[in-house]
Amino acid sequence: MSGISFSGLGSGLPVDEIVQASVQARAQPLERMQVQRAEADAKISAYGQLTSKVNAFQSAMSDLTGENNYNQMRADSSNEGLFTASADYLANATSGNYNIEVESEAQNYRWVSNEIALDAELDPIEIEGVEITPGGDGTLDDLRAAINANEDLEGVSANIVNTGDGQGRLIINADETGQENELTINNSGSLAQDADLSIENDLDAVIKIDGIEATSSSNRFENVVTGVTIDITPGALNDPNASSSGVLEIDRDTEAVKENIHAFRDAYNDLMSFLNEAKSATVNDDGEVEGGALAGESVIRSLEGELRGIIGSAASSDPNDYDSTLLNLGFKTVVDTTGEGTGPRDGHLEIDDERLSEMLDNEFDEVARIFGDEDFGYASRLEEAASRMTDSTRDGLIPSRTDGLNARVDRLEDRMQDTIDRLDSYEERLYRQFNAIESVTANLNTQGQQIQQQFAGLPGYG
């Protein structure tokens, strides 16, 4: 406390300063506990971040574990302005090349009426067996509104084109393409169909695959080639100068596997960077330790040691099988030390992409085995190691250590509260004692003043 207080007025003593100094002297254990609490909180937070990093790493491993992740297929079109394609190995797509010719795109059925006065009174019209009677004045617009409002005509829409001089045409469209969505329209009244403007035939899309014709009610062709979906690009045939054919190539998707391997490297390096930072510690000029919140934590050493042990081993029952190592796939480990500590990139993995591509092109099955084998593959072993670290149901090291830190925080909070209560009692006791002294001193001062006044009244005094 600082400033003037009611205490000490009688004695002239700086009571507040004395009391606060006394309390502060006894508060040193509390300060130490506060530091310990802050350190525990920092560790808990760091372990939370570590769990997120390990989970991200584990997710990257799941994309490289098991046979399915290496059976992916890709479908490439040499003319994407005409068609695109995709292949699914689960639907039994296999490698192959096909010449694709697009004969026609899928169209919507369209019925166009003859030209008629916009205010003419029209007779009912039958669409898909549903009789539509125009409301109001029975005009062309009334008929259009009645068609669009009828709930029994799902997938049907009507519009009007004004042709001028009070004339117009009614256009009825099927919302879905293809011959199977052709509409049945009967009209015995004055609203006749203009056959030249209507579209009733050749509504299906037509392509030829190596000369074999295939049709579809939409611009999508599924399983015309086993496991392959072909999509005609909308408007592909509108350009008379554009080619109406292209080559479809279906092959194993090595690029997807390569991307997953890169994702593994990135997740591993991200985890190693975090570990390097979390465990680093230095001593400043005052002899105080500074640095990572997890410096000296055995969990970090265990995790790092296990991961590096797996990375440095062979994906084989034979530990000396060089062909089954990451090194053979173009990987190398960075050794990065700065001064007496560990550098931020220490333990990182680098990939020789040229070597990896060569292995994927020429020895794909071997790459798949090295990474994806469920017994010895890197992905499964690393994923299992990560799971052991974070799985609370199996006493994982990280949740176990976090639980221990939380328990320590709870104990510290109890001890801190007890200490605060004792300090508050001590402070109150000191103030009571000083206030008692103040009271005695004030009484003595008053008595002294009274005696002095009595002496001053005696003859000859002073």
> What does the H/E/C string look like for 45-56?
HHHHHHHHHHHH
Residue 193 lies in a domain: no
C-alpha 425/C-alpha 138 separation (Å) is 95
Of the candidates 155, 186, 217, which is a domain's last residue?
186
The count of structural domains within the chain is 2
114 and 240 together in one domain: no
Q: What does pTM read for this prediction? A: 0.66
Neighbours of 387 (CB within 10 A): 15
Nearest to 313 by CA among 337, 297, 289, 331: 331
The burial of 457, by beta-carbon neighbours within 10 Å (0-12 exposed, 13-18 middle, 19 or more buried), is given as: exposed
Contacts of 234 (CB under 8 A, 6+ apart): 105, 219
49 to each of 141, 258, 274, how far by Cα in Å?
66, 28, 9
Neighbours of 243 (CB within 10 A): 13
Residue 142 lies in a domain: yes
Residue 344 lies in a domain: no
Q: Hey, what's the torsion of the CAs at 338, 339, 341, 347, to 10 degrees?
A: 30
C-alpha 52/C-alpha 402 separation (Å) is 14
First-to-final CA distance of the chain: 43
Of the candidates 195, 218, 252, which is a domain's last residue?
252
130 and 240 together in one domain: no
* 281 within 8 A of 290, measured Cβ to Cβ: yes
C-alpha 356/C-alpha 83 separation (Å) is 32
Instruction: Say what the pLDDT of residue 3 is.
Output: 34
C-alpha 94/C-alpha 133 separation (Å) is 55
Phi first, then psi: give them for residue 440, nearest 5 degrees: -60, -45
Instruction: Say what the pLDDT of residue 368 is.
Output: 93
116 and 241 together in one domain: no
Query: Residues in the chain with pLDDT < 50?
Result: 1-6, 8-9
208 and 101 together in one domain: yes
* 245 within 8 A of 58, measured Cβ to Cβ: no
Residue 124 lies in a domain: yes
170 and 222 together in one domain: no
The pair of three-digit structure tokens given for residue 20, joined into one six-digit string: 């606060």
112 and 181 together in one domain: yes
79 and 143 together in one domain: no
Share of the chain above pLDDT 90, in %: 50
324 to each of 149, 331, 412, how far by Cα in Å?
69, 12, 51
Nearest to 101 by CA among 205, 218, 239, 223: 205
177 and 114 together in one domain: yes
* 314 within 8 A of 329, measured Cβ to Cβ: no
Residue 97 lies in a domain: yes
C-alpha 302/C-alpha 69 separation (Å) is 30
Of the candidates 138, 157, 186, which is a domain's last residue?
186
Residue 146 lies in a domain: yes
C-alpha 66/C-alpha 61 separation (Å) is 10
Q: Which domain holds residue 130?
A: 108-186
Contacts of 232 (CB under 8 A, 6+ apart): 82, 83, 102, 105, 106, 205, 207, 219, 220, 221
Instruction: Say what the pLDDT of residue 1 is.
Output: 34
Instruction: Say what the pLDDT of residue 278 is.
Output: 83
Neighbours of 147 (CB within 10 A): 20
DSSP 397-424: HHHHHHHHHHHHHHHHHHHHHHHHHHHH
4 to each of 149, 326, 435, how far by Cα in Å?
86, 75, 15
126 and 180 together in one domain: yes
90 and 220 together in one domain: yes
Residue 144 lies in a domain: yes
Nearest to 277 by CA among 207, 366, 345: 345
112 and 80 together in one domain: no
Residue 78 lies in a domain: yes
211 and 165 together in one domain: no
The pair of three-digit structure tokens given for residue 143, joined into one six-digit string: 């008929």
Q: Which residue do the tokens 């007890």 mark?
A: 418
C-alpha 222/C-alpha 216 separation (Å) is 9
> 362-378 pLDDT, tens per residue?
999 999 999 999 889 99
